[in-house]
Amino acid sequence: MHHNLKLIFAVSLCLLLLFAVADGQSGRKQKKSDPPPPIQGVNQPDARVESVPEVPSEIPKEKDRRSIMVMTSMPDMLLPLYYADIARRGCLSEIRDVARTIDLREASNQNRSDAIKAAKNDDRTYVILMELEPDRFGNSSVDLRYTIFEPKTGKVAGMGSGYPVQPTSRIPIPPIGASREQVYIDWAGRDVGRQVMKKLGIIP
């Protein structure tokens, strides 16, 4: 009897140990398997994320922009020197009001050789030479003539005369104390500006 109790106790103890070991094994977390090594000789994708560079917006090239230089020569001795300034500024104002994207420059007391040289030295600048002389036909006090020289070659691209045509869209306000003759010269300069823009295809 005593021997049987010992045997039952030993068997029970063994069963308890087995249950305890089994419970401990079931509670453990399964270790994740490591990824397989890369295959030799095959390019593997890069896991890094590289930023995509932004594509800059197109910038208009500077050489594509048209430029105009308006020059005036020394007026005839019978005319005041500032008459040339009035005509030149009138021409510049007319072009600036209509074609705002055109680069404008000016020069005074220039001659034909100066105008040709300036045109040849620039591959995008048209040079306008304005010359004032007394009107020999009596239509007005001043005869305003102009010549257009094309860039790079200096060849004549057009010529004509400006007339004191009153603007139809708006009438510019003359300076205080300006005479009627000065207003007519300003209008003639503006007429040259309109003719130049038409010849260069800036306005229809």
In the chain, what are the domain boundaries? 62-199
Instruction: Name residue, tokens 């034909």.
Output: 112
User: Are 110 and 129 in contact, with CB atoms under 8 Å apart?
Assistant: yes
pLDDT score of 89 more than 50 = yes
pLDDT at 59: 36
CA distance 185 to 175: 12
User: Are 106 and 49 in contact, with CB atoms under 8 Å apart?
Assistant: no
- Going by C-alpha positions, the residue among 110, 43, 34 that lies closest to residue 71 is 110
pLDDT at 135: 82
Percent above pLDDT 70 for the chain: 62
Integer CA distances (angstroms), 171 to 73, 105, 144, 187, in order: 26, 24, 20, 9
pLDDT band at residue 165, thresholds of 50, 70 and 90?
confident
Burial bucket for residue 193 (CB in 10 Å: 0-12, 13-18, 19+):
buried
Q: Name the more confident of 131 and 36.
A: 131
Query: Can you tell me the mean pLDDT for 155-179?
Result: 79
- Residue type at position 45: P
- Going by C-alpha positions, the residue among 69, 98, 82, 73 that lies closest to residue 190 is 98
Integer-rounded Cα Rg, in Å, for the chain is: 46
What is the CATH architecture assignment of 62-199? 3-Layer(aba) Sandwich (3.40)
CA distance 174 to 194: 19
Neighbours of 25 (CB within 10 A): 8
What is the number of helices (H) and of strands (E) in the chain? Answer: 4, 5
pLDDT score of 53 more than 50 = no
pLDDT band at residue 168, thresholds of 50, 70 and 90?
confident
CA distance 169 to 4: 129
Instruction: Name residue, tokens 């209509």.
Output: 98
pLDDT at 136: 75
pLDDT score of 70 more than 80 = yes
Query: Can you tell me the mean pLDDT for 132-147?
Result: 83
Least confident span in 1-5, 10-14, 158-162: 1-5
CA distance 69 to 116: 11
